[in-house]
Structure 1
């Protein structure tokens, strides 16, 4: 009888455990608010595999919910059950959307639990090979001589290339005609063929084309030169005369607001270990991305950083007069 009583007590204690005590017990969905095959999708899939290893080999499924500059996928994640089985991997547009769109179906600083930053991806200023300039000094002279006639490609409103283009125009004080595409691939195709003049896009999109000599590269947007072999010779915009210019496209991990702390703590621990996974590290280095290794891998510091990004990009977007009705 005593043995049966002890078993019963153990069973009762197990039944009384909160639902997240054994988390995770089933596949996790990682919402990516951009199309499959793009740079954020590539980061997400590599990160999902690294995260899987730290969560007991639980499958992490990537759900591409693209559209409206990333706001559709972000809204989907914000509305998901806060049980830890739906997460969001988003980039800088989570911080720019409040300024870009007059209405949003979520609140960036209120509707998510912040789990930590993942990486930062530098940008490169590139042009069609038909452009006569061969370095950034020559490019600036060409821009000054072609005011009102310059086409600047981007992968759509809210995309990394759109945001970098706004910042570049503001720094150069040269207005360019934005040409928006439905993704990076068609934008790059037209740049290569000479249908458009310039683009400022992530190294994850541009490195292969630069290596192949299909486009001209003029500078990187970070304040230090990059170590990636194909990009190491490129000067920074800061050293090229645009003092203080520093733009990277960061990626971070988020969960719906109200996800239990026990789960967010578990995910944060898994994130920190995933960022040290050798396979993930190698894949990011190959893309020219920099894995975050500072305090922003913690939720509170990540949120402070995003809040500062909202303020920074808000000023740029307001100055450019670009706001869209959602």
Structure 2
């Protein structure tokens, strides 16, 4: 009787194992996606990258039929989150909401980048771009960028904040082109840098419209200029840096794109790209990003995003050189 029981138990375990294998094969055979997708945002909650990620994820879910779960993994100018995606399984269930910081500027700013932005990622689609706003605390005795330049002349006690490559390089370029001297204060998260700007603990902060506009509209900071070559429709009275500082050739904007680990199946790339395009066309995404925050939405093909990354890498290397930034 005891031998029979043992045999029955062994058989039951064997059948259960076979069932699990069969279930796994059945799940694998189901068309992509058949479970939730993880979208890693390499910057903090509340950052512009986070805002873009959530806007697109909400609408892509309707097309894909599966939820996209946002996971914020900030740190090291976005490299921690980007590296997590570069090392993830190439099955399409981990995506990166990348930026110019992670997917263009990193090699120009850092010596030990833990991934190869050209080889370790599969581009999916460009998402959008946005200019930055140069701002100071309300209690700083300047009203314009020209007044700030005059105020900074001869001073060595001024500081500027940054929590990403675009924030740092845009400010370093401004300092280089205007002759201002400020000490760089690095932040892990943009929202923390904003808090210190509002409190007057730093002199200057340059960040994208997504982060800046709520504070500008709430009169908690003083905007001086936009970093694009033309004025922004969201703040039409705010001059460009070229206008405000009387310089020529200054321009630097932030951008966002979607990537997966390299070597994901071609059908996954196609489905994700189609979902991005469908999301970009919805009133929800248009209103939350373009109308409200001044972001220019421009979905692309994977090939177009790959070409942009190559071009932007050269651009950011040149910008870092102009700004006199030494690699860290």
Instruction: Pick the TM interval, shorter chain.
Output: 0.7 to 0.9
Tell me how far apart the structure 2 counterparts of residues 88 and 207 of structure 1 sit (CA, whole Å).
25
Count, aligned residues: 300
- Aligned residue runs from structure 1 range 122-137, under 5 A: 122-137=131-146
Name the SS for the 1:226 alignment partner.
Answer: coil
Aligned to 1:280: 285
Of residues 32, 47, 64 in structure 1, which corresponds to 2:56?
47
Q: What is the TM-score normalised by the length of structure 2?
A: 0.85
More divergent stretch after superposition (247-256 vs 130-139) = 130-139
**1:17 Cα deviation after fit:** 11
Aligned to 2:256: 251
Gaps of 5+ in 1: 1-15
Tell me how far apart the structure 1 counterparts of residues 218 and 237 of structure 2 sit (CA, whole Å).
15
Aligned to 2:313: 310
**1:59 Cα deviation after fit:** 0.5
Tell me how far apart the structure 2 counterparts of residues 316 and 133 of structure 1 sit (CA, whole Å).
27
Aligned to 2:158: 150
> Structure 1: which 4+ aligned runs deviate by more than 3 Å?
16-21
Aligned to 1:233: 237
Aligned to 1:204: 210
Of residues 18, 39, 58 in structure 2, which corresponds to 1:30?
39
Aligned to 1:9: none
Aligned to 1:82: 90
Tell me how far apart the structure 2 counterparts of residues 67 and 153 of structure 1 sit (CA, whole Å).
15
- Does the aligned pair in 2 maintain the 1:29–1:60 contact within 8 Å? yes
- Does the aligned pair in 1 maintain the 2:128–2:255 contact within 8 Å? yes
Name the SS for the 2:257 alignment partner.
Answer: strand
- Does the aligned pair in 1 maintain the 2:74–2:188 contact within 8 Å? no
Q: What is the TM-score normalised by the length of structure 1?
A: 0.86
Aligned to 1:185: 191
> Could you say what the CA RMSD is over the residues aligned between the two structures, in angstroms?
2.1
Name the SS for the 1:127 alignment partner.
Answer: strand
**1:33 Cα deviation after fit:** 1.1
Q: Larger C-alpha radius of gyration, 1 or 2?
A: 2
Q: 1:21 to 1:200 in 2, by over 3 A?
A: same
> Does residue 63 of the first structure (1) align with residue 66 of the second (2)?
no
Tell me how far apart the structure 2 counterparts of residues 20 and 312 of structure 1 sit (CA, whole Å).
43
Deviations 1:106-146, CA, capped at 9 Å, x for gaps: 10011111111101121001111222221232222223x24
- Does the aligned pair in 2 maintain the 1:317–1:323 contact within 8 Å? no
Tell me how far apart the structure 1 counterparts of residues 29 and 75 of structure 2 sit (CA, whole Å).
32
**1:18 Cα deviation after fit:** 12
Deviations 1:178-202, CA, capped at 9 Å, x for gaps: 1122322332222222222111111
Tell me how far apart the structure 2 counterparts of residues 78 and 211 of structure 1 sit (CA, whole Å).
38
More helix by share: 2
> Does residue 213 of the first structure (1) align with residue 248 of the second (2)?
no
More divergent stretch after superposition (244-253 vs 188-197) = 188-197
- Does the aligned pair in 1 maintain the 2:128–2:297 contact within 8 Å? yes
Q: 1:172 to 1:303 in 2, by over 3 A?
A: farther
Name the SS for the 2:241 alignment partner.
Answer: coil
